[in-house]
Amino acid sequence: MRKLDKRLSLILNSTAKIGGVYVYSNQQGCDGGRLYYDGSSLVAMNGKVIAQGSQFSIKELEVVTATIDLEMIRSYRRDIKNRGIKNDIEDEFSRVYIDYNLCNLDHLDLTDPQGDIKLHSPEEEIFLGPPLWMWDYLRRSGARGFFLPLSGGLDSASVATMVGSMCHLVYKAIEEEKDEKVLSDLRKVVKNDGFTPDSPRDIAKQVLVTTYMGTKNSSTETLKRAKNLANDIGCQFFDCEIDEMYESTKNLFQKITGKEPKYESQGGTYAEDVALQNIQARQRMVLSYMMAQLVPWVNEDKGFLLVLGTANLDEGLRGYMTKYDCSSADINPIGGINKSDLKLFLGYSKDKLGFESLQSILDAKPSAELRPIEDKTKDSTQLDEEEMGMTYDELNQFGRLRKIKGCGPVSMFSELLQIWKHLSPIEISEKVKSFFFFYSINRHKATTVTPSYFTENYGTDDNRFDHRQFLYNAKWEYQFKKIDELVKYYTEKKSQSQK
């Protein structure tokens, strides 16, 4: 994301500096990997774009053409002084005249430079890129649709909305652009040679199955949000309680060991508490795969569904997720997108697609809902940012400094002293130490991360992108000691300056 403007800047600067025509061709679509090539093939001349293709498109092929006047390039280059000096000392090229014209001089239609260059905002890129990546994956894989555990939270809502966007783009290609190839692909996906959708909702009903997997720790508010979003999209929705699965696993453990694990709020230890939370998350993954395989059979359809993951980039960076939980899936559209950008995307999609249910999801505070709650009619008090000890915006900053700038604990602390002016050195040091501790002990989770759509330079994909080791000494004794020394130095320096 946010790359096209840099690409255009390089092209325009080079042609503005020396004159000439730059013909740029780029792939568009998914070639079977984590990347979605974003097109934008173009023709630039003398520092200006004169023709530009789409950045994201459902089309298989797009041709960009422009008619140019070579004499305009000669004229432009004559005004470049250093070029004129060079020409004076070089031998003149000989000209060969032939009875042939590149253009029809009787009807010469030159292409005028574009006024505004077409650039998508980050939220528009998310609205277009991942959904088209999912469409490419769906039509090539042989699956008849997607299965999504829909929790009512921001992450799963983002993935569901991306499928809604995909249906919107596919329907637009069929209805407005009369693209027979897209219609043919859709019919192959849904295993129905006569299917013609009347709306994006018709497509969603065929290709997306969602399920709310609640427990006694889930609130009625999250169920309401999940159901309303599914209704906006038009997909198939199931509501089920998985307490029976949870209790049977806990009872089996008690039968094996003779001990009953409890939550901390019920007198248990931290280890018991985390284990009970993880049971719920992992059983959702098991049920997801069973639903993905058998719901088509239940609907008397053929084929299988691809399970969609819902772990965002920031959670993967810190390891704030259960290994092999419902974030484990076949593909993950948001694994390379941070929480801040997902919020922008949902706000944009609410207006673009008319999904009013997204507003309540945007207003809610992120929560895993894995611990007991007293009032099921209210949102859980188990809040993500409180449990992590840092905000998602702070995690975004940690990720960029760690991967893009290659910062370790000490250099990251020094960088953040200049960035986070609102925090004291001791507060910054505590956050940096906390981040590196959890980053270290959870790096192993990156080795099993679901294949994700790639967008950010600080992606955590261990298999393709981030090749750092997954075993660290989580104590960071030398580095944390140096940070403490720097905190002492800056604190004393500030104290002296105030005197």
181/274 same-domain check: yes
Q: What is the CATH number of the domain that holds 268?
A: 3.40.50.620
Would you state the pLDDT for residue 329? 94
Same-domain status, 374 and 397: no
Residues of the chain predicted below pLDDT 50: none
Q: 300 and 270, same structural domain?
A: yes
Q: What is the pLDDT of residue 309?
A: 95
- End-of-domain residue from the set 366, 387, 408: 387
- Does residue 148 sit in the same domain as residue 167? yes
One domain for residues 383 and 399: no
Token pair 């042939």 in the structure block, residue: 100
Question: In terms of pTM, does the model score above 0.85?
Answer: yes
Tell me, yes or no, whether 329 and 393 share the same domain. Answer: no
Structural domain contains residue 97: no
Domain count, the chain: 3
Same domain, yes or no: 315 and 397 = no
Q: Are strands 145-149 and 305-307 parallel, antiparallel or unpaired?
A: parallel
Q: Are 453 and 333 in contact (CB under 8 A)?
A: yes
Contact status, residue 339 vs residue 361, Cβ threshold 8 Å: no
Q: Is 322 in the same domain as 404? A: no
Domain holding 447, by residue range, is 389-499
48-52, strands of its sheet edge to edge: 21-24, 42-45, 48-52
Tell me which residue of 209, 204, 172, 444 sits closest to 324, measured CA to CA.
444
- The pLDDT, as a whole number, for residue 105 is 64
**Residues 6 or more apart whose Cβ sits within 8 Å of residue 305:** 143, 144, 145, 146, 147, 209, 291, 292, 293, 295, 296
Q: What is the pLDDT of residues 255-314, one digit of tens each?
A: 999 999 999 999 999 999 999 999 999 999 999 999 999 999 999 999 999 999 999 999
Among residues 356, 387, 418, which one ends one of the domains? Answer: 387
Query: Does any domain span residue 494?
Result: yes
Do 181 and 78 belong together in one domain?
no
Structural domain includes residue 105: no
**Predicted pLDDT at 61:** 87
Give the angle 134-136-139 at the CA atoms, nearest 5°. Answer: 105
Nearest alpha-carbon partner for 237 in 318, 152, 112: 152
Residue-level pLDDT at 376: 67
**In the prediction, which pLDDT does 170 show?**
97
Q: Is residue 198 part of a domain?
A: yes
**Residue 100 domain flag:** no
Say whether both 376 and 393 belong to one domain: no
Could you tell me if 288 and 149 are in contact, meaning their C-beta atoms sit under 8 angstroms apart?
yes
Does 106 fall in a domain? no
